Structure 1
């Protein structure tokens, strides 16, 4: 039996158009109000070219994303952004980082790691029954975690059995 580790990067965007999710897999993303931006934010508080996301390789074969204020030509945005409540010009994103671009305009970054285990063929008669009385009304999960898992389940349609690990926010736990 062998195992592999998979990594996915998810951005939850909230602006005047509501909430949407974006799976990050490109090497560069422009963020701003301009319709030509890769990630378009609908708000007059957001600059046309507000920020840039860059994918960076890590030494262990994984990747991470860095957010930079403004564009790659050195032009900063008008209002900047807050990351977890701090005004920064650049930041290497970590799981559950919140980037606020203006009133009611924010993105939350999720780093999802999934360990996929290659197993024997699945026995179609091997099932586990769960009694509804054994679960909490909310399934034992926070509303936020249920939303993230719901988005990941919609994105993740792989035939192999897998285990999903969400890293906990470093400052709270």
Structure 2
């Protein structure tokens, strides 16, 4: 059986409180200074609802995250997003993309891939094939000649 790709999405945030890692798996994440944010940023330079991560599916069945400036209702953050040095309203994240939310507040996105080889159930220890002595020879008459 061919190996199936397995993906883990990881976001590493650096802000005024240090460095935090977030393993992503939910369909939507709110990012910002607001205490109710799924991913909270600690800095006076970021908006309360600075960005949103949305899980999307590609045509090949793989998943990725899109980051959107502000919330999903269209309200943008005050400072916007810089992704890999370019100002963006939204961006489909790729492995090692760098996101700047404000001075000294950044994130790095990682897409970790590995192949998972499906394994079947362990072999049945009682699955045996019985062999007749006559099956040892191509011609059944040869078995009677040797005995």
Aligned-partner SS, 2:26: coil
Structure 2 distance, partners of 1:63, 1:98, is 19
- Which string of whole-angstrom CA distances, capped at 9 and with x for unpartnered residues, describes residues 67-112 of structure 1? 0000011110011010000111110001100000011100100011
Aligned-partner SS, 2:45: coil
- Paired position in structure 2 for 1:57: 57
Structure 2 distance, partners of 1:81, 1:33, is 14
Paired residues for 1:9-158 under 5 Å: 9-118=9-118
Count of residues paired in the alignment: 120
- Which string of whole-angstrom CA distances, capped at 9 and with x for unpartnered residues, describes residues 1-44 of structure 1? 54221011000110111111101100000000001000000000
The structure that has the greater radius of gyration is 2
Structure 2 distance, partners of 1:2, 1:32, is 41
| Unaligned ranges ≥5, structure 1 | 122-173
Deviation at 1:62, TM superposition (A): 1.1
- Paired position in structure 1 for 2:4: 4
TM-score after normalising by structure 1 = 0.66
TM-score after normalising by structure 2 = 0.78
